[in-house]
Chains A and B, each alone.
Chain A
Amino acid sequence: MSGICFEDVTVGQDIPNLVKGPMTTAHLVRWCAAMENWHLIHYDWKYATEHDKLPDVMVNGTWKQNVMIQLLTDWVGESGWLWKINFQFRGMNVPGDLLTAWGRVAAVETRGAYGVVRLDIGLRNQTGAEGTPGSATVVLPRRGGPAVPYPFDPACLGPAT
């Protein structure tokens, strides 16, 4: 886990990628069982391809969201906080895909005693195709400043400038 401070971050900076896979049907079934999701498109190839006209069974969006979240929680470590994240499932992912979550710093600002960093994020497959574009906002401590409060209360940031 990193102990990153706001002063370590610059606009345009790439954060470390997070790689998962190659995905297999076993990964999908394990996730479906963990969350009790019985939607056939995740484990019934005949249904997925014939009824829903999909290319294969689908890697769950609910699983991919956790990869996007881990990308940021790994980066901010235990001294920062992943405040907001959003993403759209625009591309499908299937067994065999090697997935790389990535993030790039888009904007930085100080608010109160803390630093607020906005990032563009996404999830690419092994061909480089982007399937899950989005953005995230994290809160980081400033060097020598107080820790980001936990539980996180946005009021600690004061008004946006």
Chain B
Amino acid sequence: MPENYITDEVKALIGTHNGPVLAFHPVEASEVRRFHQAIMDPARRYWDEAWAKSSRYGGVVAPPAFPPLAFRRAPDEPDPLDRMGEPGFDGNTRNFRGLPPVKVSLPRLMNGGYEYEFFRYARVGERIYRSSTYRDIYQRNGRSGPMVFVVVADMYTTDGNVPLVNMTTTTILR
């Protein structure tokens, strides 16, 4: 029988909430450039200020899935690369949006999938806020062994509590 990783302590995390947390930097034009170039999406709304200004967006915007990735490490936060070389550290801090840690000792982590609901693009210069909740944490025992699914629901907004995007992610610990 595989070990049960869904302890009472882990179960108690379901429903835990934080936020709104403000991203350290507002949306920056060059960050949008790096993002849309890396995803190889040349749409003008991401870079052509003259075109974007006369469009329904009113200015250059970031790609729809940008807000969740706008929460980069702040200058005063620890450098995760300091931990490289630690036994068992895979480069991923397993920090679920600053929510309390999920104490599951499975060594591998994978991205299981996403659900999005989009309302509006984030414009260059706007600030982004995030509110997060552990929606579910559960275990499945597959052929390759036990897997723990961590489901986090996020709401991203800009100033005035204007909704940008809702996102639900599933992370698999295995």
Q: Do A and B bind each other?
A: yes
A→B interface (CB under 8 Å): 1, 20, 27, 30-31, 33-36, 38-41, 44, 47, 51-52, 60-63, 65-67, 69-70, 73-74, 78, 81-89, 134, 147, 150-153
Determine which of B55, B91, B120 lies in contact with A40 in the assembled complex, contact meaning CB atoms within 8 Å. Answer: B91
Interchain CB contact under 8 A, A61 and B113: yes
Q: B108 — which chain A residues lie within 8 A by C-beta?
A: 51-52
Interchain CB contact under 8 A, A151 and B91: no
How far, in Å, is B151 (CB) from chain A's closest CB?
Answer: 12
- Identify 30 residue pairs between A and B in the complex whose beta-carbon atoms are under 8 Å apart, listed by A's number: A1-B43, A30-B37, A30-B38, A31-B39, A34-B34, A34-B37, A38-B81, A39-B92, A44-B91, A51-B107, A52-B108, A63-B39, A69-B64, A69-B65, A70-B41, A70-B63, A73-B41, A78-B55, A84-B116, A84-B117, A85-B115, A85-B118, A86-B116, A87-B113, A87-B114, A88-B112, A134-B113, A150-B57, A151-B163, A152-B118
B contact residues, total (Cβ < 8 Å): 41
Interchain CB contact under 8 A, B119 and A151: yes
User: B162 on the interface (CB 8 Å rule)?
Assistant: yes
Interchain CB contact under 8 A, B35 and A34: yes
> Interface readout for B43-81 with A: 1 if CB under 8 Å, 0 if not?
101000000000111000001110001001100000011
Interchain CB contact under 8 A, A151 and B162: yes
Given contacts A86-B114, A86-B115, A151-B162, contact A51 B90 (CB under 8 A): yes
Q: B37 — which chain A residues lie within 8 A by C-beta?
A: 30, 34
How far, in Å, is A87 (CB) from chain B's closest CB?
Answer: 6
Q: B170 — which chain A residues lie within 8 A by C-beta?
A: 88
A35–B34 alpha-carbon span in the complex (Å): 9
Q: A34 — which chain B residues lie within 8 A by C-beta?
A: 34-35, 37-38
